[in-house]
Amino acid sequence: MESHSRDAGWIEVICGPMFSGKTEELIRRLRRAVIARQAVQVFKPAIDKRYHDTRVTSHSAQSVEAVAVADVEALKRAVGAGTRVVGIDEAQFFGAGLVEAVQSLADNGTRVVIAGLDQDYRGQPFDPMPALMAVAEQVTKCLAVCAQCGALGSRSFRLSGGDGRVQVGAADSYEARCRQCFHQGMLEASRGRVA
C-alpha cells in the first residue's frame, strides 16, 4: 500500500487467528514507514500485558516501541499532530468506538494499520474487526499452522481457562487450529463439560 498518494489517508486491516503472524506483519509495515521517514506511532490496549508495557511484541520476539492506552479516547488524545502512520495491535480489545476513531484519522490524511483477531475462541466474529474490515481500503487475512494436523489454521482454540471472551494469553492457553480440528476440540470440550 506504499503506492498511495502522499497525503491520502487510508485504513489497512491485518486479521487472522493467534500465531498467524499479524503482529509480525504489522511490525514489517511500520518499519518500512520508518524507512520512508514518516512519523509513526504504535498503540496497543493496556489490557495486553503479556510481554512489555511499552512495546508491541510478536510470538517470534520481534518488537517495536508502542504506547499502551486504556481505551479509544486515550488513543485519540495520544495521536500527535505530525503523525503520518498509526499502528494498532490487538484491535479487537478496543470496542466499537475504534471504527469511528480510525475513520476520522484516515479522513484527515493518516495511514492507519490495524492488527487484530477476526474471531474469538468460539469462532465468532470478534467486534469491532468485522466493521473495520468493511471500511478498510485493504484487508490481509493471515493463517497460522494448525497445532493438531499441520494444515493452515484459521481459528484460535482455547486450551484452558473460563468462558469469558477476553482472556489474554499465549502458547499456554491457546493454539491455532484448522476448521476441522477446531470443531473436533469444541465437541470434545462440550462432552467434557457434560460428563
23 binds Mg ion, rule: CB under 5 A: yes
Minimum CB separation of residue 63 from Mg ion in Å reads: 11
99 interface partner picked from Zn ion, ligand ADP, Mg ion, none, CB below 5 to 8 A per type: none
Of 11, 12, 21, 91, which one interacts with ligand ADP (CB under 6 A)? 21
The interface mask with ligand ADP, positions 135-174, x = CB under 6 A, is -------x-xx-x---------------------------
Give phi and psi for 3, each to the nearest 5: -90, 0
User: How does 16-40 read in b/e, with b if 16+ C-beta sit within 10 Å?
Assistant: bbbbbbbbbbbbebbeebeeeebeb
Q: How many residues bind Zn ion (CB under 5 A)?
A: 6
Residues 6+ apart with CB under 8 A from 96: 127, 128, 131
| The one segment of 2-10, 55-63, 102-110, 186-194 that binds ligand ADP by CB under 6 A | 55-63
Closest by CA position to 111, among listed 9, 30, 26: 9
Q: List all residues 6 or more positions away from 40 whose beta carbon is below 8 Å from its beta carbon.
A: 30, 33, 34, 83, 84, 85, 86, 87
Closest to 166 in 3D by CA, of 102, 116, 114: 116
Tell me whether residue 20 or residue 41 sits nearer to ligand ADP (CB atom).
20
Binding partner of residue 176 among ligand ADP, Zn ion, Mg ion, none, CB cut-off 5 to 8 Å per kind: ligand ADP
Q: Residues 4, 50, 60, 188: which binds ligand ADP (CB under 6 A)?
A: 60
CB hemisphere CA count around 25 (13 angstroms): 22
* 166 counts as binding Zn ion under rule CB under 5 A: no
* Residue 139 or 145 having the CB closest to ligand ADP: 145
Active-site residue 90, yes or no? Answer: yes
Q: Among the options 65, 90, 175, 188, which is catalytic?
A: 90
When asked if residue 92 is in the footprint of Mg ion (CB under 5 A), the reply is: no
Does the protein bind Zn ion through residue 181 (CB under 5 A)? yes
CA torsion, ordered 122, 62, 73, 85, to nearest 10 deg: -120
Helices (H) and strands (E) in the chain, counts: 5, 12
The binding site for ligand ADP (CB under 6 A) comprises 16, 18-24, 58-60, 142, 144-145, 147, 176
